[in-house]
A = this chain, B = another copy of it.
Amino acid sequence: MQDNKISDAVIRRLPKYYRYLSELEAAGVERISSSRMSKEMNLNASQIRRDLNCFGGFGQQGYGYQVLRLKQEIMKILGIGNAYKVIVVGAGNIGQALLKYKNFTNEGYNIVAVFDADEKMIGKNINGITVRPMSALPEFFAVNMIDIGIIAVPKPYAQKTADELVVLGVRAIWNFAPLDVEVRRGISVENVHLSDSLYVLSYHMRENDENH
C-alpha cells in the first residue's frame, strides 16, 4: 500500500490538517492554496505539498486544494468516523473528563463502558454510562468487540491494565497514565504525556524572558 513508509512526523501532522480543514469548511471555504495554508498553519508550503503528496496528491498546480475533499481523504487516512467501540478503565478525573467529552462520539469513537477498581465508584452513572467493576472486564469482552481501551488508572496499575486489555482482545490502547505502557506487535498504542507540553511551555517562557 502507498502509505506504508509514511514517516511518523507526517502522520502526527495530519490531525493538524484535519482540524484546520474542519475550520475552513465551517467557515464556508471551498478551495485553499498551499501558500495560504502555509501562512495560516505556520508550516512551510513545500512541506505541506510533500506531506499531502505522501497520500497521492490532492492538489492541482495553480488551483489549490478542495477543502471538503482533502478533509475527507485525511479523515479516511486517519480512520476518523469509522465507528470504533471504546472502553475506559479508570473512572477518576481523567476518565470522567473523557466520558463527558462529546466530540469523540461525533467522530465515531463511541465509549460503551467504564470500569473502576474502587468499590465506591461501582454503579455510579457518568454521562449515561454505569461504572462496572474491574472483575467484569472478561465477561464484557466475551460479548463485545472492543477496538480501543483507554487507560486512566494510576501509574502503578497501568501496565497491568494494558496487559489485561491486550489479552482480552483490544486492538489499540490510549494511555493517560504517566508512563509508556508496552504492548506486543500488532497492537497500537499512544501514550499521552500531558506534562510534556507544560515543559515546552516553560521552556518558551524562559526563552521569552531572555530575549526581552
Chain B residue nearest to A3 in the complex (CB): B207
The 8 A CB mask of A62-99 against B (1 = contact, 0 = none) is 00000000000000011110101000000011101100
Instruction: Please count how many residues in chain A sit with their CB below 8 Å of the partner chain's CB atoms.
Output: 61
Residue A58, interface by CB 8 Å: no
Chain B residues within an 8 Å CB radius of A19: 178-179, 193, 196
Complex partner residue of A15 from B78, B189, B196, CB under 8 angstroms: B196
Contact A212/B190 with A94-B97, A104-B198, A199-B18 known, Cβ cut-off 8 Å = no
Chain B residues within an 8 Å CB radius of A211: 4
Complex partner residue of A107 from B80, B84, B195, CB under 8 angstroms: B195
Residue A135, interface by CB 8 Å: no
The 8 A CB mask of A97-140 against B (1 = contact, 0 = none) is 10011011001010000000000000000000000000000000
Considering only residues 190-212 of chain A, those with a C-beta below 8 Å from chain B are 190, 192-212
The residue among A12, A23, A201 with the most chain B CB atoms within 10 A of its own CB is A201
Q: Is the CB of B199 within 8 A of A192?
A: no
Residue A162, interface by CB 8 Å: no
Residue A16, interface by CB 8 Å: yes
Complex partner residue of A202 from B82, B103, B195, B197, CB under 8 angstroms: B82
Complex partner residue of A208 from B92, B186, B190, CB under 8 angstroms: B186
Chain B residue nearest to A109 in the complex (CB): B198
Complex partner residue of A193 from B1, B15, B210, CB under 8 angstroms: B15
Q: Is the CB of B103 within 8 A of A203?
A: no
Contact A171/B101 with A199-B18, A210-B1 known, Cβ cut-off 8 Å = no
Chain B residues within an 8 Å CB radius of A201: 148, 172, 174, 188-190
Q: How far apart are A184's CB and chain B's nearest CB, in angstroms?
A: 11
Complex partner residue of A93 from B101, B178, B189, B197, CB under 8 angstroms: B101
